Amino acid sequence: MHLTTVWFCLIAVLWVGYFVLEGFDFGVGIVLPLLARSDAERRVLINTIGPVWDGNEVWVIVAGGATFAAFPEWYATLFSGFYMPLFLILIALIFRNLAFEYRGKRLGAGWRSGWDAAIVLGSVVPALLWGVAFGNIVRGVAIDHHHEYVGSFLDLLNPYALLAGLCTLSLFVTHGLMFVARKTVGELRVRARAMAWRAGLAAAVIAVTFLVWTYLQRREAPHVRWFALLAGIAALCLVGALIAVRAGREGLAFLGTAATIAFAVGSLFVSLFPEVMPSSIDPALSLTTTNAASSAYTLRIMTWVAAIFTPVVLVYQGFSYYVFRRRIGVEDLPAAVVTTPSELSPP
């Protein structure tokens, strides 16, 4: 297998990992005001993702870095053409991360509600815009012979891409609710399970519509049959997750939505290959794994580095999930401790 193909697959795996792991983070943040009925329950929801959310975000950094090193032409066209949506995602993530850190610094209701709003908005915007970005990549954008995007920001907000954004948003909400049902106890667990069922039904309708539309968009692609197979498996996994959550098997339900996202994202990459960014102006101007790649020497060095360090990272992150596997509830919350400015000042 050519190294360009290897690195296309590795980048696909990184994006799959990011959407599966950060997807439930986003989902928990989005449902924060809908699921929790008190500040204590909101603290529980935040604590369910507290030990892992920052580690989950590393996946997108690695995916971006791998794209820059392995396919610099793809990176340059993507980040320059999609500058506005990616900038909005970055701003949203900054405010979301600040909210996690600063929400508990004061006890005032206004202070905490403001940061709660930042968590919700900082989760909704990336969950929606990542879908919009990937929808445009699959659909194809206006790339000229210089490999530059010549469209506008409004061109990216086309119906297909917006449907892709609603698909990621609804799947992440469902995935997050499955995670909460798996991670909590008591009334919060019961409400999360009931809400996950309803959200999952809506996500199923949106996801199936999007995948069918994608098939029509890419029906001339060389690997469209593999796309159809993976998309079908994703749909079956979502059905299985809904059946599992109705039966009270939250662990299986969470694995089901994780598999749904993994197979759905994987199917999009399969539908693209060997292209990485199709041109809607002329297919001959499209970026591919060949004309967008780095030199063979660069790819060889990167492959050795990835082979050595990727297993270490996976083992470490898997261990962190194992350590924080226990369910939590309101009764597990410590008393709120707030550090005042006077306590931070030197004597």
- Span 40-50, pLDDT tens digits: 899 999 999 98
Q: Is the residue at 104 inside a domain?
A: yes
> What is the pLDDT, as a whole number, of residue 289?
92
Which residue carries 């082979």 as its tokens? 307
Q: Which residue has the higher pLDDT, 331 or 257?
A: 257
> What is the pLDDT, as a whole number, of residue 337?
47
Q: What is the enclosing helix (H) or strand (E) of 287?
A: strand 287-288
> What distance in Å separates the CA atoms of residue 208 and residue 75, rounded to the nearest whole number?
29
Confidence band of 198 (pLDDT split at 50, 70, 90): very high
Q: Is the residue at 55 inside a domain?
A: yes
Query: Which residues 6+ apart lie within 8 Å of 226 measured at CB?
Result: 267, 270
Q: pTM (2 decimals)?
A: 0.91
DSSP per position, 73-85: HHHHHHHHHTHHH
- For the cut 90, the answer to whether the pLDDT of residue 115 exceeds it is yes
Q: Is the residue at 46 inside a domain?
A: yes
Q: Is the residue at 340 inside a domain?
A: no
- Asked if 147 and 287 touch (Cβ cutoff 8 Å), the reply is yes
- For the cut 70, the answer to whether the pLDDT of residue 90 exceeds it is yes
Coil, helix or strand at residue 324: coil
- For the cut 50, the answer to whether the pLDDT of residue 70 exceeds it is yes
Q: Is the residue at 244 inside a domain?
A: yes
> What distance in Å separates the CA atoms of residue 156 and residue 210, rounded to the nearest whole number?
16
Buried residues in 138-153 as b, exposed as e (16+ CB within 10 A)? bbbbbbeeebebeeee
Q: Is the residue at 330 inside a domain?
A: no
> What distance in Å separates the CA atoms of residue 22 and residue 168, rounded to the nearest whole number?
12
Tell me the CATH number at 88.
1.20.1630.10
Number of domains in the chain: 1
> pLDDT digits over 270-309, tens only?
999 999 999 989 888 899 999 999 999 999 999 999 889 8
pLDDT, average across residues 239-258? 94
Domain that holds residue 65: 3-272+284-319
Q: Is the residue at 133 inside a domain?
A: yes
- For the cut 70, the answer to whether the pLDDT of residue 194 exceeds it is yes
**Which tokens in the block code for residue 61?**
């950094």
**Which tokens in the block code for residue 223?**
């690997």
> What is the pLDDT, as a whole number, of residue 338?
47
Altogether, the residues listed in the chain come to a count of 347
**Which tokens in the block code for residue 97?**
């991360």
> What distance in Å separates the CA atoms of residue 342 and residue 347, rounded to the nearest whole number?
9
Which residue carries 């090193």 as its tokens? 69
Query: Which residues 6+ apart lie within 8 Å of 251 measured at CB?
Result: 182
Share of the chain above pLDDT 90, in %: 69
Residue 1, judged by CB atoms within 10 A of its CB (0-12, 13-18, 19+), counts as exposed
- For the cut 80, the answer to whether the pLDDT of residue 340 exceeds it is no
Q: Is the residue at 339 inside a domain?
A: no
> pLDDT digits over 322-335, tens only?
888 889 888 877 76
Which residue carries 């950060």 as its tokens? 22
Residue 29, judged by CB atoms within 10 A of its CB (0-12, 13-18, 19+), counts as buried
- Asked if 124 and 172 touch (Cβ cutoff 8 Å), the reply is no
> What is the pLDDT, as a whole number, of residue 217?
87
